[in-house]
Amino acid sequence: MTVTLLGSPAIGDFDGIDLDMLIRQGFRPVPVDRIRTLASEVLGIDLIPGEVAPASVPGSHVEVAVPLPDGPAIRHYSLLAGAANRLRVAVLRERHGRGASAWLHENLDSCTSLLIRGPRDTFGYGGTGPAYFVAGGIGITPLTAMISAAASSGRDWHLLYVGRQQESMAFADDLVTEFDSSRVTVHITEAAGRPDVVSAVEDWASSRNEPTTVFTCGPVPLMRALEVGFEQHPSISVISEAFDEDNEAGASTQVGSGLSSAASSVSRSDSATNGATGTESVGIDEAFIVELGDGSEVEVPSECTIIDALNRAGVHTLSSCQKGTCGTCETAILDGRADHRDSVLSDEEHAAQETMMICVSRACGKRIALDL
């Protein structure tokens, strides 16, 4: 079943209160232009951005609101390389996910629009020196736009694309055809076993005279191998973006001591790892009061997050990862200071105290006023 939003095409079966909240928080119906199968269990969706700005930074993602039975689920999908007047995403159907990817695979053909917010960049593609891309499975999606940017700017680059079976690897044939095997290595684990990704990068980077930046997205063990392998490396840095269930893009992590400006600007890996490394961490979770935009107050007990306290008080909020890694719950601070515990905002953004992630961050002191 679908609903109609102010005369717009069908967007899915959202409860009216949830729909109000989504619109208030910046989600907009965006027409679906085309749906197609990109690989086994991978759905390609082309959207017509209209008033939504197209992505300007390679590796950006959009947030998609999906109407699941227990309320809207917000999922993050990386934008693919493609036509400037389209937003293109790819959705892998997760058999053991939380339901959003399955909903999109099963219901999208009855919807003519999707509710989206963004685009937004949390990956951090940048630099001009040699770039080595490592994709695992559906992790290829944000890298397609980076590869396209690298190729068109004349950057020296290579892609290692790892997947279990050829038929499940979206874009593998297209990438090889477009760039040939001197640029693109497709590694199929069912035939060749697990690759030694660290050696592959080292071999390629050793013939370059400049520091190399590795951009990687895919399963955690793959990215972890690269992060650990190059943690202390003098000229190879690693920038990775994790995917959560339902193949949503999450937090970016940067490690290594290479000289790439992109890799040396911000390190979010500490806060991503321990979950409590904000700029003003108070150490102990104390109770505090959140003042809402209408002047009402909600107490946040010591053992409770702001989001949970608001939900208990009947105040609807948006969230997705609940781990401070995705940015969906970002909320403007009207007064007071936050004890930041997320891994989305940069150190500079934490210091600015303009917004906070209310799924993990808390107040410094006894009160904080939020734009809710």
Q: Which residues contribute to the site for ligand FES (CB under 6 A)?
A: 319-322, 324-329, 342, 344, 357, 359
The answer to whether the CB of 105 falls within 8 A of the CB of 279 is: no
Angstrom CA distances, 45 to 48, 117, 120, 194, stand at 10, 15, 18, 30
Containing 81, the helix (H) or strand (E) segment is none
CB of 328 to ligand FES, least distance (A): 5
**Biggest CA-to-CA distance, the chain:** 62
* Cβ 344 vs Cβ 325: under 8 Å: yes
- Nearer of residues 32 and 251 to ligand FES, judged by Cβ: 251
If the CB atoms of residues 195 and 324 are measured against ligand FES, the closer one turns out to be 324
Is residue 122 within 8 Å of 55, Cβ to Cβ?
no
CB of 329 to ligand FES, least distance (A): 3
11: which residues sit within 8 A by CB, 6+ positions away? 2, 3, 5, 29, 111, 113, 114, 115
CB nearer to ligand FES: give 88 or 362. Answer: 362
Give the shortest CB-330-to-ligand FES separation in angstroms. Answer: 7
At 332 the three-state DSSP class reads strand
Helix (H) or strand (E) holding 125: none
Question: Rounded to the nearest whole angstrom, what is the least distance from the CB of residue 123 to ligand FES in the complex?
Answer: 15
In the complex with ligand FES, the residue whose CB is nearer, 144 or 325, is 325
Report the residue number, 89 or 359, with the smaller CB distance to ligand FES: 359
What DSSP assignment string belongs to 4-26? -STTPPP-----HHHHHHHHHTT
Work out how close the CB of 73 gets to ligand FES at its nearest, in angstroms, rounded to a whole number: 11
Q: Closer CB to ligand FES, residue 257 or residue 322? A: 322
State the nearest-atom distance from the C-beta of 125 to ligand FES, in Å.
Answer: 21
